[in-house]
Amino acid sequence: MAWDEWEQIKVDVADQKSTAMQINHLPVEPGPSASAVTGGLKTNQKAWLTAGEGIGSLRKGAGTALTKLEDGQTGLGSETGCLSAAAQREVYASWKRYLENVSKRCGSLQGILGQVGHDQLKTDEAVKAEMKILQLRYADTDATGGQAKGR
């Protein structure tokens, strides 16, 4: 049977007819060609938007934690003459800054995921560039005590 198909293809080519090859006997499906950007990959807008909403909920959680942290500062009083109060204020300022940055980072990431969901043909390179900007803008600081070496 395969030999007969080959003979028919040769005849069609000789007659300058369009030939359609079937692999594993799957029918050739006419239709628009795949996009050069997506390469035929299908994506789901809802999935991207849902992921963005999930990141947005993390932002709300960071805001709640920040509010509780601020509430814990009430009644601390003056830090003059009390080393533990001064240390506690430094820790508070550090965590406040960290939580604010987490919230901003989540907001930025939510925006990027939303854009990817709406702009279905946005290239991988453009998404990677946006993520790199986000990574540089909100780079985490090194852990206190330095980096572990060989552990």
Whether the per-residue pLDDT at 74 is higher than 70: the answer is: yes
Query: How confident is the model at residue 8, as a pLDDT?
Result: 76
Rg (CA), the chain: 29
**Cα torsion angle, 23, 26, 29, 32, sign:** negative
The mean pLDDT of the chain is 75
Map tokens 């390179």 to a residue: 125
More confident position, 21 or 143: 143
Query: How confident is the model at residue 106, as a pLDDT?
Result: 92
Percent of the chain with pLDDT over 90: 5
Whether the per-residue pLDDT at 19 is higher than 60: the answer is: no
CA dist list (Å): 109 to 91, 121, 133, 142, 151: 27, 18, 11, 22, 32
* End-to-end C-alpha distance for the chain, whole angstroms: 65
Q: At what angle do helices 83-118 and 124-137 cross, to 10 degrees?
A: 170
Whether the per-residue pLDDT at 93 is higher than 60: the answer is: yes
Q: Where are the domains of the chain?
A: 45-137
pLDDT band at 87 (very low <50, low <70, confident <90, very high): confident
More confident position, 111 or 7: 111
Query: 9-13, 34-38, 120-124 — which is least confidently predicted?
Result: 34-38
Whether the per-residue pLDDT at 28 is higher than 60: the answer is: no
Which runs of consecutive H residues, i.e. helices, occur in the chain? 2-14, 45-71, 83-118, 124-137
